[in-house]
Each structure stands twice: as C-alpha cells, then as structure tokens.
Structure 1
Amino acid sequence: MLSFDELTSPERELWDAFPEGRRVDLRTGVPEDDRVVEGGQWGAARTVRAAVIVGLLLGANPAQPGAVACLRLAGARISGHLNLAGTQIAHALWLEDCWFAESVDLLGASLQTLVITGSRVPGIEADSARVEGNLDLRRSVVESLASSPFNHVSTALSLSDARVTGGLLLNGAEMRASGGWAVAAGGLVMEGGVFCRGFVARGEVRLLGAQLPGGLFMQGARLTDPGPHGVSLALDNAAASTLDFSDGFTVNGTVRLQGTQVSGTLTFQGAVLNGPPDGQGPSLVALLMQAVDFDFTLARAPSGTVDLQGAQVSFLHDSEHSWPDVVELDGFVYGSIKVHKTGERRETVGRRNSVPQRVAWIRRCPGYNPQPYEQLAGWYRKAGHDDEARRVLLAKQRHRRQTLPRTARAWGHLLDVTVGYGYRPWLAGVWLLALTLLGALSFSAQTPTPVQRGEGTPFQPLVYTLDLLIPIGGLGQRTAWYWPNDSLQWLAYLLIALGWVLTTAVLAGVTRALQKN
C-alpha cells in the first residue's frame, strides 16, 4: 500500500483531486512539448506511477460525503503496469493525452466509463471485462501485446467476451499489430454502437460472433496489414442492426461476413476493397450473410473475388464499379435490384438493356450454376416482365450447353436455332412458315401417287404441306397421297417430325402469353 509520503508532486496532486473528481492536467500548453509520441522523454514532473492510479481506483483515498470521486488525468507519463485485472471499480477513469510505458490489463474487470483518448498505449487487455458506460479510445494509438491468456497472436486491443453497456468509441484511433490482430473481440456484446470513423487498423479486426444491436460504423476507416490469413475484417456469425463501411472505407485484405446477420443496412457505398496485398485472396466473403438493404456501390471494382454464395438480401444496390472479374452467386437470393448511375438509383427491372448486363454479371461466376439464372428470371417474372425472364432462361440454357458432351451440344444448337429452347416461340412460327413454303414448292414440282385411285380429294401442295406440319387432326391430304420419289417422301417424313417440335413450341408460347394476361 502506497503512503502519501512516498508520492511525487504530480501524484500528490492527483491524490488530492481524486475524491472530488477534479482533473489534473500536466500538459505544458506548448504543442512541441506535449506531443504524446515523445511522451517517453517526459520527466518526473509529468510522471505518475500506474500503482498510484490502481490504488486510488481501489479506495486508497475515498471520496468525501457529497462528492463523486473520479480519476481524471491529462498529459502524464504513466510508468509501470496498469493492472486492474479482476477488480471491481466504482469510479470512472479518464486519461487524456497520456503516454503509457506498459500495457493496460483489464482482464475480467468490472468498471464504469473508461476513457483513454489521444494517448499511446502498448496494448489493452480487456477480455471478459464489463464496462457500465462507454469505452472511449478516440485518437489513441494502441500497439500490439506480445500475447495474452486467450490469444497467441500479437494483439493491440483485446475485448473477447467483453460486455459494454454504452458505446465503443474508436474514432480517429489507430490499432497497430501488423500481421496480427489489431482488435480481437470475439463474442463482444455491445448495447451501444461501435463508432470507428477515421479509424486505422494495422492488422486484423476480429468481431466473430459479436452482438452489435447499436451498429458498427466505419466510415472512412482504413484497414491495412491483414492478419495471418490475409483477412483484415472478420465478422463471422455476428449480429448487427447496421454495418456501415462507406465514405472511403478502404481495406487491404479480405472482408469476411460469413453467416453475418444485419437487421437493417449493410453498406459499402464509396468503399475500396483491395483484397490481400499478394492478390491471391478474395475481397469479400459473405457466405450465408443476411441483410435487409445491401448497398454495394463501391468507388471502384474490387481487386479480388466477391463471394455471395447462400446470402440473402431484400434490396441489392450496385453500380458499374461493384463487381470484379469473378463473383460467386450460387444460392444468392435477393428481392430487388437497384442500379446506381449518375447519382441516381433506378430499379433494374424494366430497363431495356438490363438483361444483357445482368446475364454478363452471372457469367462472372466460375462454372455453370442454374440458381443465379433462376433467381434473376424469378425476379423479372415477379415484377411482371415475362419477356425478360424468358431471355434470362434462354441464356441459362446456352450457358448449360457449354458443359454438355459434343452430341448434346449439337442437339442444343438445333433447339436454340429452331425454337430458342422453347423461350422464343415466335422463332418456331418463322420456321413453320419457311418449311411451309419449302414444302409447297417442292411438292408442286411433281405429282404424287394416290393411295386409292379415284378416291380422295385432289392433290394441293400447300394443303398437303400443312397437313404434314400440323400434328393434330388432319386435312385429308397426308393419308391420300404418297411419293414414288424417295427424296420427296423423306422430305415428307422430315416435315412431320419438325412439325411436332415446332407446333409444340408455338402452343407453349401461346400458353405463356395467356397465363401472363
């Protein structure tokens, strides 16, 4: 236990101010002398031992009746290890523009509002901590710990399984753990929001399974020097009301949102997703992600792949800068697509050139998967644009054809040319007309032989051709005449076969039109 006689002059000032919650400001007012980055050179007049702070917070100098004790200190060099692990602290701690010689240990601690702003700290360990209020680290620079009891990777700020009833304020802060974990906060429970505007992380930011009902706001943040696996931001299985990565949010590494659930907006508007520096990893992995509003209008196209397999969103916003060369869309479900162009958001459905653009988007998927085509066609159909839906399904069949054996591809080409796989029934009508003209001209060159002489209707080439092409009913010509000329007889057989295929396609098109109306 420290005695008053052992305290230095600045420590005595802090000791006397604590019971009344007064702030002790050791700054000189000269900007050159108050630069925190050079705080290690501050002398005894600005040095406070960590043990003194711990003693005050644990009741060494209790508050006077009618006063609210609070430790407020600015511009100090804090020597020693600030160890509050496992303690219960009933007083707020405010440290501003301070330089810490050693790390801050809050493992399992229970404390009130904690403010360490504009300071330099060699690591903060707060796993399983409970903060009844805000955790404020604005403008601070926190450097990595060598290790912690829970993490075997160098970590700057550790908040695994912590709970904060207020907000986590990291605006303008910088977390340094190059190649390690800038923030390790798996299982973090936040009752307020996490605010990281202008935040810089050198290392991976890990929020696996975090509960963020107040949202995560990282506008303008920069994430560099990704972790061991090339990941800069990991929010796997997290739940949040809002995830805001907009206004110049820049990542050199992978953003991972596997199984993340967003009850409101997930936005990357104006963001830059560079992917891992080696160019070998994805820019965004969002398998099984769920969100209501997904804004992916980036500042420029991602350098790595975007994986949306199994993701579900109600509204998708994109632009010409949204998609890289490779996009994984198998299982991706959306309720609406709105395109962002020249400062306006317009719904894709109904635009005349939307189908080629959307099909080209799907073709960025490696290999052939029918689901993205069915999803897009279903959305067009749901919006009442059946023609566009058929164009998408025709594109699906053409893509599928490339995966088939040679003989099947040949048959597919025939179906495409003749009936458009059944999605272009008007083409079947054109072929029927052309075959009718061909048959009428060919059959008019010679006279066939009657099946029974003196019976049946007179031969009429046009009616005979129509009788061959129409598979249902009969006009009395096909059964009454045959050809001694083998070539014309084989032409008749060919017209019968093509008639079945083409007439069926025409009927299917008429049926679709009637159902649409």
Structure 2
Amino acid sequence: MFSYDELTSPERALWDAFPEGRRVDLRPDTPQEDQVADGAQWGPERTVRAAVLCALLLGANSGQPGAVAQLRLTGARIRGRLDLAGAQIAHPLWLEACWFDQAVNLLGASTQTLVFTGSRIPGIEADSARIEGNFSLRHSVVEDGAPTPFNRLSTALSLTDARISGALLLNGAHLIAPDGWALSAGGLAMEGGIFCRNGFTAHGEVRLMGAQLPGTLVMQGARLEKPGPRGVALTLDNATASSLKFSQGFTANGTVRLRGTQVRDNVTFDGAVLNGPPAHDAHAPALTALHLQAVDLDLTLARPPSGTLDLRGAQVSYLHENEHTWPQRVELDGFVYGSIKTADADDERHEAVGNRESVARRLAWIRSSPGYNPQPYEQLATWYRRAGHDDDARRVLLAKQRHRRRTQPPAGRAWGHLLDITVGYGYRPWLAGIWLLALTLLGTMAFATNSPTPVKQGEGAPFQPLVYTLDLLIPIAGLGQRTGWYWTSDSLQWLAYLLIALGWVLTTAVIAGLTRTLQKN
C-alpha cells in the first residue's frame, strides 16, 4: 500500500481525482503536437507507476458518497507492469493516449468497463477474464507480448475463454504479432458485438475458434495480414454468430477460415478482397468455409480470389454472386443452397427467361473443382427446376454426364459418346428423331434407284422404298417389307444390314437415355 507522501505529483492528481471519477489529463497545452509514439521519452511529469493504478482499482482510496469512483487518465506513461491477474475490480478503467512500458496482465480478472483509447501497449493478456461492460481498444496499438500459459506463440491481445457482457471495440486499432496471433480469443463468449472498423488492421492471425458471438462480428474495411506461404489471417472454426460482415473493402492477405461456423443470419463479403496466403500457389485457400451454415452467403467480391474457394459441405439459403465470385479453382462437393442471386442486373433479367451464358458460367465454376463430383451438378439442376427453368436443368445434367464420361474406361467413354450423339444422354431425345429422319431419307433415296428381288414371286405387298427403310430401322414389330425382298446388289444389301444395325443401336440408346431421365425425375 502507498502512502500519500510517496506519490509523485501526477500520481497525487490521479489519487485525488479517483474517488469522484474525474479525468486527469497529463498532456501539454498543445496536444496536437503530442504523439503517443514518443511516449518512451516522456518525463516524470507525465509518468505514473502501474502499481498506483493497481492500488486504486483494488480499493486503496475508497469512493465518496454521491460520486462514482473510476480511474480516468489521459496522456500518461505507465511505468512498470499493470498486473491485475485474478483481481476483483469494481471500478471502470479509462486510459486515453497512454504509453505502457510493459504488457497488461488481466488473466482471470473480473472487471468493469475497460477502455484503452489511442494508446500503445506491448501486449494484453486477458485470458479467462470476466468483463462486465465494454472492452475498448479503439485507435490503440497493441504489439505482441510474451507467450501466455494458453499460447506459446507471441500474442498481441489474448482473450482465450474470456467473457464480455458488452461489446469488444477495436475500431481503428492495430494488433501486431506477425509471427503469432494478433488476437487469440478461442472460446470467447460475447453478449455484444465485435467491431473492427475504421482502419482496423491485424498483422498476425485473428483467432476466434469456438467463439460465441450472439451479436455481430463487424470487419467492414478491416485489413488482415498474415505472412507466410500458408498464413491464416482469420480463424472462426466452429464459432457461432448472429452475422459476419466482411465488406466495404475488407482485405485478407491470408486464408479466411469459417470451418463449421454457424451463423443465424448472413455472412457477407460484399466488396471484399480475398488474396489468400502471400504465395505463388493458386491452390492455396483464400476462403475455407467447410460445413458453414448461414441464411445468406454474399460472395459479391471486389475481384476474384487469388486462391481456392472451398465451400464443401456448406449450407446456405441464399447465395449471392457476381462476376468476381469464382476463382480458378473451387471446391463445391456437398455445397447446398436454396437460391442464387446474381448482382449484375442484366444477368438477373436474362435469368428470368433462361440464359445459356449464365448456365455455361455456372458450369465453369463447377468444372473447376478437382475430380468429378455429381452433387454440385445435381444441386444446380435442382435450383433451376425450382425456378422453372427445366431446359437449363437439363443442360446442367447433360454437362454432368459429359464430365463423368472423362473419368470412365475406354469402353464406357465409347458408349457415353454414343449416348451423347444419339439422344444427349436422354436429355435431348429429339436428337433420335433427327437421326431417324436422316437415315430414313438416306435409305429411301438409295433404295428407290433400284428394284429388289422378291423372296417369293407374286406374293407379298409391292415394294415401297420408304416403308422398306422404316422396316429396317425399326427393330420392334415388322412392316412386311424386310422379309419379302432382298438385293442382288452387294452395296445395297450392306446398306440394308447397316440400317438394321443402326436401328438397334438407336433404339437401345433411346431406351437407355429415357430410362436414366425417368429415374432421375
């Protein structure tokens, strides 16, 4: 415990102001010329020992009746370590434009509102802390401190398993831990939102694995940087949230991970830039959203991602896309969506009446997936059917069969080509009519130039080239012409054999294609 005589002049001013909650401002008369970055050079007239702050917050100078005691200090250099680990703090703490010589330790503490505005702090450790109110670091610079018991990596701000009843305000803050975690908050439980706007930057991974965010995570305009070829800029694996807003110029130079994240409302990347890890590997993930669950997923990006977009197993009600949504490689197996909304107004107008170009564009991002997976085709076809675009659904299913054909052995590929040419795998049965018409015309013209020999003289119907050709092409039933005539010309006889064979092939292809279509429908 301190005696009043041991306090310096700025410490006495703070000591006297604390019971009434008055602010003590140690800045010079020209604060516009005062920079927190120069805090290491501030002299004794602006220096307050961290031990004095601890003593006040722990009840060294009790409050006065009719006043709310709180610690409010501006423009001070905090000398020593502000160590409040495990403390029960009943007073709000407001520190503005302060320079900290050492990291702040709030491990396991129970506190009221904490405000560190426009300050420079070499690390904050608040694992398992309980904060009744807001925790604000607006416009502050928090640099990596010493490893914590929960994390051996360097960490700027550590909130692992912390509980915050208000909001976490990081607007304009800079969290710096390039080789570690800018924010380590696995298991963080919030009652309010997390706000990272107005120039927020993080050099190092922002880690929110398993966090409970009933409010909104707002990172509009934020910039996340994680060096390294496999750098992860943001991790929200298995977190729960009301909504996630990565928009208005949000930039991630590193992977954004939303694996198993459950969002009750929307996840938006409207106008975002997803650069992925700073490597020359196009397959490095820019966004990993395996098993993401959300109502809306807005991927109307500012430009195409530089890495892979992984949506395997994700489930959303509405998918919003634009011309920049899809990179060179997309993982879509198991991705389920109820509807697709396209940002381009002209494309939406074409969608209403069916548009082959839009179908081709969506098929391109399905084919960009490695290997063959039928589910993305089936999902897209299902959506087109629900929208009333049956022709587009058939185009998608035909593309699925053509993609599948490339994975089959030679015999399967040959049979697939035959089904494609003749009936379009059953999705274009009118092709069979064109083939039948062409072969009928060919046979009729060839057989009309010559007269065949009757099998039995004077018996049977007269020779009819058209009916004879149809009798050759149709293997089921008979029209009485094929069995009543034969040719002495080898070329015409071989033509007859060829038409019989093509008739069987055409009929088999029609049956196979239509059977597949009926089974699917």
| TM-score, scaled relative to structure 1 | 0.94
Q: What is residue 254 of structure 2 aligned with on the other side? A: 253
- Given candidates 331, 356, 363, the residue that maps to 2:334 is 331
Give the structure 2 partner of residue 292 of structure 1: 295
- Tell me whether 500-509 or 89-98 shows the greater mean CA deviation: 500-509
2:167 corresponds to: 167
Hey, what does 1:195 align to over in structure 2?
A: 195
Aligned position for 1:211: 212
The reply on whether 1:384 has 2:388 as its aligned counterpart is yes
Greater mean deviation of Cα atoms: 421-430 or 134-143: 421-430
Structure 1 consecutive aligned stretches of length 4 or more whose deviation exceeds 6 Å: 342-347, 504-517
Deviations 1:251-274 (A, max 9, x none): 111111111111111111111111
Q: Is 1:433 equivalent to 2:437 in the alignment? A: yes
Counterpart secondary structure, 1:61: coil
SS, match of residue 368 in structure 1? coil
Gaps of 5+ in 1: none
Matched, 1:317 2:320: yes
Could you tell me how far apart the structure 2 residues matched to 1:516 and 1:372 are? 15
Provide the rounded CA distance (Å) in 1 between the counterparts of 2:470 and 2:309: 54
Please give the alpha-carbon distance, in whole angstroms, between the structure 2 residues aligned to 1:165 and 1:278. Answer: 40
3-state SS of paired residue (1:214): strand
Structure 1 letter corresponding to 2:57: L
Q: 1:466 to 1:332 in 2, by over 3 A?
A: same
Segments of 5+ residues of structure 2 without an aligned counterpart are none
* Residue 54 in structure 1 maps to residue 57 in structure 2: no
Shift of 1:185: 0.4
Question: In the aligned structure 2, how far is the partner of 1:140 from the partner of 1:227?
Answer: 25
Deviates further, 403-412 or 454-463: 403-412
Preserved contact between residue 307 and residue 328 of structure 1 (Cα < 8 Å): yes
**How far is 1:403 from its partner?**
2.2
- Classify the secondary structure of the residue corresponding to 1:362: helix
Greater displacement, 151-160 / 327-336: 327-336
List per-residue Cα deviations over 1:163-221 (Å, max 9, x = no partner): 11111000000000012100000011111010000210000000001111101000000
Q: Is the 8 A contact 2:233 2:252 kept in 1?
A: yes
Residues 346 and 51 of structure 1: CA distance in aligned 2, closer, same or farther (over 3 Å): farther
Instruction: Between 378-387 and 108-117, report the one with greater CA deviation.
Output: 378-387
Change over 3 Å in CA distance of 1:364–1:415 after alignment to 2: same
Q: Could you tell me how far 1:486 is from its partner in structure 2?
A: 5.5
SS for the counterpart of 2:134 is strand
Q: Which residue of 1 aligns with 2:344?
A: 341
Q: CA RMSD in A?
A: 2.5
For the 8 Å contact 2:267–2:294, the answer to whether it is kept is yes
TM-score normalised over the length of structure 2: 0.93
| Equivalent residue, structure 2, for 1:26 | 26
Contact 2:425 2:513 in 1 (8 A): no
Question: Does the 8 Å CA contact 1:178/1:227 hold for their aligned counterparts?
Answer: no
Change (3 A) 1:335 1:349: farther
Q: What is the DSSP-based 3-state SS (H/G/I as helix, E as strand, rest coil) of the residue aligned with 1:133?
A: coil
Code of the aligned partner of 2:264: S
**Is contact 1:425-1:505 (8 Å) kept?**
no
Q: How far 1:143 sits from its partner (Å)?
A: 0.3
Distance in 2 between the 1:346 and 1:89 partners?
60
Change (3 A) 1:345 1:199: farther
Percent identity over paired residues: 72
Distance in 1 of aligned mates of 2:477 and 2:348: 54
Q: Does 1:307 align with 2:310?
A: yes
How far, CA to CA, are the matches of 2:415 and 2:517 in structure 1? Answer: 26
* Structure 1 position 404 matched with structure 2 position 405: no
Tell me which amino acid in the other structure corresponds to 1:153: L
User: How far apart are the structure 2 equivalents of 1:246 and 1:493?
Assistant: 68
Aligned 8 A contact 1:289 1:312 in 2: yes
Residue 147 of structure 1: how far off its partner (Å): 0.6
Write the distance in 1 (CA, Å) between the matches of 2:307 and 2:255.
8
2:427/2:517 contact within 8 Å kept:
no
- Contact 2:214–2:242 (Cα < 8 Å) also in 1: yes
Find the residue that maps to 2:28 and give its secondary structure.
Answer: coil
| Distance in 2 between residues matched to 1:516 and 1:385, nearest whole Å | 16
Amino acid at match of 1:212: L
- CA distance 1:282–1:486, shift in 2 (3 Å): same
Structure 2 partner of 1:125: 125
> 1-side partners of 2:424 and 2:338: how far apart?
28
Give the deviation of 1:327 after TM superposition: 1.1
Q: Which residue of 2 aligns with 1:370?
A: 374
Q: Sort the Cα spacing of 1:187 and 1:172 in 2 relative to 1 into closer, same or farther, 3 A.
A: same
Q: CA deviation at 1:493?
A: 4.1
The answer as to 2:444 corresponding to 1:443 is no
Residue-by-residue CA offset, 1:100-119 (whole Å, 9 max, x unaligned): 11111111111111111100
CA-CA distance at 1:489 after TM superposition: 4.4
Q: Distance in 2 between matches of 1:165 and 1:220?
A: 25
